[in-house]
């Protein structure tokens, strides 16, 4: 059962990601991207990361993609002009493919030799996913958590200052 869902959603993630690249219209790209994030959230559910699956839909498919679609509408883009494909880009893509095929051959198929952590499925089932996560988030990870809030504030202030019209 898990295999069937994994194959269907994995295949749909790949297809929608390819459509993001190959769609001519930028708005269509953005909408295929929302679909891609949605199928990726299903994969997170299969990996029993429910909280991340919810965050994926709220933050990525909701907030960030809405932001991108607003930007596309504000910029009033024309269709992307066709330019001849440059030789350097072809070489770049081929080199990239070779690099990652190597990665696929070497990396996939081996597990990481690491010490197993304390968070077993039984623990998750007993206390609940979010309860276990919040215990870690507000003890071990409290400094990165606060730093993330500072980063987001700095990002918003920077965006406002960059996009503000200069008043003469």
Partner 1 sequence: MVAYQNLYLALAVVLFIIGAIGAITRRNAIVVFMCIEIMLGAVNLVFITFGRANQSVDGIFMVMFVMAVAAAEAAVGLAIFILMYRKRGTINVESFNLMKW
- Who contacts 61 (Cβ-Cβ below 8 Å, separation ≥6)? 34, 37, 38, 41
Give 71 or 125: the residue with its C-beta nearer to partner 1. 71
Per CB under 8 A, does 155 bind partner 1? yes
Per CB under 8 A, does 62 bind partner 1? no
Q: How far apart are CA 20 and CA 36, in angstroms?
A: 9
Report residue 42 as tokens: 């299903």
Smallest distance from the beta carbon of 151 to partner 1, in angstroms? 5
Q: How far apart are CA 55 and CA 63, in angstroms?
A: 10
In 23-128, alpha helices (H): 26-46, 50-55, 65-75, 87-107, 121-127
Near partner 1 in 22-51, by CB under 8 A: 26, 29-30, 33, 36-37, 40, 43-44, 47-49, 51
Per CB under 8 A, does 131 bind partner 1? no
Q: Binding marks (x or -) toward partner 1, 78..107, rule CB under 8 A?
A: --xx-x-x---x--xx--xx--x--xx--x
């Amino acid at each position: 059962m898990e295999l069937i869902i994994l194959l269907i959603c994995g295949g749909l993630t790949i297809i929608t990601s390819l459509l993001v690249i190959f769609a001519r219209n930028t708005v269509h790209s953005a909408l295929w991207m929302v679909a891609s994030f949605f199928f990726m959230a299903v994969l997170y559910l299969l990996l029993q990361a429910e909280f991340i699956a919810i965050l994926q839909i709220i933050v990525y498919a909701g907030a960030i993609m809405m932001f991108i679609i607003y930007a596309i509408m504000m910029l009033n883009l024309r269709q992307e002009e066709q330019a001849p494909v440059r030789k350097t880009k072809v070489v770049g893509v081929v080199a990239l493919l070779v690099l990652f095929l190597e990665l696929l051959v070497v990396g996939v198929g081996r597990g990481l030799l690491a010490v197993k952590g304390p968070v077993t499925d039984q623990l998750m089932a007993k206390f609940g996913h979010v309860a276990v996560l919040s215990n870690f988030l507000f003890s071990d990870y409290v400094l990165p958590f606060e730093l993330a809030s500072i980063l987001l504030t700095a990002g918003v202030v920077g965006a406002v200052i960059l996009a503000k019209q200069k008043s003469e």
